[in-house]
């Protein structure tokens, strides 16, 4: 441990004038953890060889558009005319210190790199494997499959994989009148109305044999249909002038009205809340929920580490992700984002890119059209790609460690990661207040009115047919 501390101190003191502790950088715990398990006893002879190899040399470096790691500016011909991003800050620091230059080239096929069935590599991994370029710089997911053909640097960043989804849609108000209660409550309520009516009718008839304080004339006594409408009126807060006269019947009615008032108040309160406060449809929160539902389809990038993971895993969830929409994989990250914007797809990618894409869309449109699922999965480490046995690996590993210790990683994250917002955290979809009612909010009431008009017309027609039939018999 003492040797390690002395080595780090010596490296920080002898780091040259590119970056020093006098800049006031804060120690970055996240970066430190990614290197904590690595051996700090670097071979000085190998390091010196790498330094000489870099001096006054121009390296050919493959890269790809992958914000916030590598952000490229391209001209109309597709050539790189500008670049920035987290990885390029790392690269520029190394260039300043070791006095070398780079020539950036794009991935020849737009892919990161995957092992093909013929045991060759495509993408930037293939370019490095075939020594067409010296190395590849971006946020490459470190995997044992890729390490069969190239070497990775130490991981300079770790993050989880997330799911980009369409923004949740407001719930439809077409059935707002029945939404305050579940179907079980509605069933129980109908059973109560149907069941209480004959009970009250029997009690009313039995009560006719006992003296009443205010007896009704026979023609004013409630019939079964009167009692049925009276029970229904209690649910909607409407009384009737014709009520049973016996004390036993009125006791039954008192308890029915007590229950009806409770039901009516609960319904009214819930209905008002659902109409005045917007609610959104339930959203997908995890990969498991996404895999076993039919409303939202999913996609991910072909020939990516995610593609390899899903195809090679024995997990039932991962198998479902790999096979169900196997013909719908995208070839670029922004193609995946565009699919999500259609409202029918989800895009699976590392969290940093999804945060960047969500913020970019919000800045461009002023609307929260995207959201990220709450639960993430599959944490990955990012590294650069080097040729197998490259003498630069040990030097770059050491420099990444130094950058982390000096707080540069934290500084660069602050430069290129979008700041959290209500759109990225999802608060904008849940933190809503009351709003004026629109016509769409009351459409269920008008639908009910239309249904009543149609039903009454049908009943009127039936009555006319019945009266005509009775008149014909006479």
Prior bond to 68 cis, omega within 30?
yes
Residue 434 in marked binding region:
no
User: How many CB atoms are closer than 10 A to CB 403?
Assistant: 25
Report d(CA 361, CA 418) in Å as an integer.
Answer: 12
Residue 305 in marked binding region:
yes
* Alpha-carbon separation of residue 79 from 64, 106, 140, 287 (angstroms): 12, 8, 22, 37
* Alpha-carbon separation of residue 388 from 44, 204, 391 (angstroms): 20, 95, 9
User: How many CB atoms are closer than 10 A to CB 225?
Assistant: 10
Tokens (6 digits) for 414? 């602050």
Tokens (6 digits) for 294? 């039919």
Residue 399 in marked binding region:
no
Report d(CA 115, CA 144) in Å as an integer.
Answer: 11
Report d(CA 227, CA 242) in Å as an integer.
Answer: 9
Contacts (Cβ under 8 Å, ≥6 apart) of 337: 164, 347, 357, 361, 370
Report d(CA 395, CA 44) in Å as an integer.
Answer: 9
| β pairing state of 370-372 and 157-166 | antiparallel
Residue 376 in marked binding region:
no
Say how far residue 2 (Cα) sits from the centre of its chain. Answer: 46
Report d(CA 206, CA 224) in Å as an integer.
Answer: 13
Report d(CA 218, CA 209) in Å as an integer.
Answer: 13
C-alpha neighbours within 13 Å on the C-beta side of residue 283: 22
For helices 392-405 and 408-416, the axis angle rounded to 10 degrees is 80
Nearest one of 313, 357, 365 to 332, comparing CA atoms:
357
Tell me the binding residues.
141, 146, 305, 350
Tell me the binding residues for L-glutamate.
141, 146, 305, 350
């Amino acid at each position: 441990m003492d040797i390690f501390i002395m080595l780090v101190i010596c490296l920080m003191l002898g780091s040259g004038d590119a970056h020093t502790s006098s800049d006031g950088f804060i120690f970055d715990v996240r970066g430190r953890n990614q290197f904590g398990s690595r051996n700090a006893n670097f071979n000085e002879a190998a390091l010196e060889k790498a330094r000489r190899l870099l001096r006054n040399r121009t390296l050919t470096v493959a890269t790809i558009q992958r914000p916030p790691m590598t952000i490229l500016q391209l001209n109309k011909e597709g050539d790189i005319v500008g670049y920035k991003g987290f990885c390029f800050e790392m690269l520029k620091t190394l260039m300043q210190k070791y006095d070398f230059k780079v020539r950036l080239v794009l991935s020849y096929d737009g892919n990161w790199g995957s092992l093909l069935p013929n045991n060759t590599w495509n993408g930037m991994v293939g370019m490095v494997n075939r020594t067409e370029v010296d190395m590849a710089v971006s946020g490459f997911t470190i995997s044992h499959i890729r390490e069969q053909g190239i070497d990775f640097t130490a991981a300079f960043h770790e993050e989880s994989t997330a799911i980009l989804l369409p923004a949740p849609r407001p719930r439809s108000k077409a059935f707002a009148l029945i939404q305050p209660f579940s179907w079980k409550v509605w069933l129980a309520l109908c059973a109560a109305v149907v069941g209480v009516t004959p009970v009250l009718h029997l009690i009313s008839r039995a009560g006719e044999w006992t003296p009443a304080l205010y007896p009704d004339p026979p023609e004013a006594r409630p019939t079964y249909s009167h009692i049925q409408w009276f029970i229904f009126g209690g649910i909607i807060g409407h009384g009737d002038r014709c009520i049973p006269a016996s004390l036993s019947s009125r006791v039954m009615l008192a308890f029915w009205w007590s229950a009806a008032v409770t039901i009516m108040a609960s319904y009214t309160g819930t209905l008002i809340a659902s109409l005045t406060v917007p609610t959104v449809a339930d959203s997908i929160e995890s990969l498991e929920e996404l895999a076993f539902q039919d409303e939202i389809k999913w996609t991910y990038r072909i020939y990516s580490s995610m593609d390899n993971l899903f195809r090679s895993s024995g997990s039932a969830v991962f198998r479902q992700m790999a096979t169900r929409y196997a013909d719908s994989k995208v070839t670029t990250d922004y193609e995946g984002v565009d699919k999500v914007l259609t409202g029918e797809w989800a895009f699976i990618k590392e969290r940093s890119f999804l945060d960047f894409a969500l913020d970019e869309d919000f800045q461009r449109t002023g609307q929260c059209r995207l959201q990220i699922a709450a639960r993430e999965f599959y944490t990955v480490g990012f590294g650069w790609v080097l040729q197998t046995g490259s003498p630069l690996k040990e030097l770059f590993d050491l420099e990444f460690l130094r950058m982390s210790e000096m707080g540069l990683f934290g500084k660069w994250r602050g430069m290129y990661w979008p700041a959290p917002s209500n759109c990225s955290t999802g608060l904008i979809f849940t933190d809503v207040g009351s709003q004026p009612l629109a016509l769409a909010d009351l459409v269920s009431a008008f639908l009910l009115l239309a249904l009543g008009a149609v039903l009454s017309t049908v009943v009127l027609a039936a009555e006319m047919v019945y009266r005509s039939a009775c008149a014909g018999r006479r």
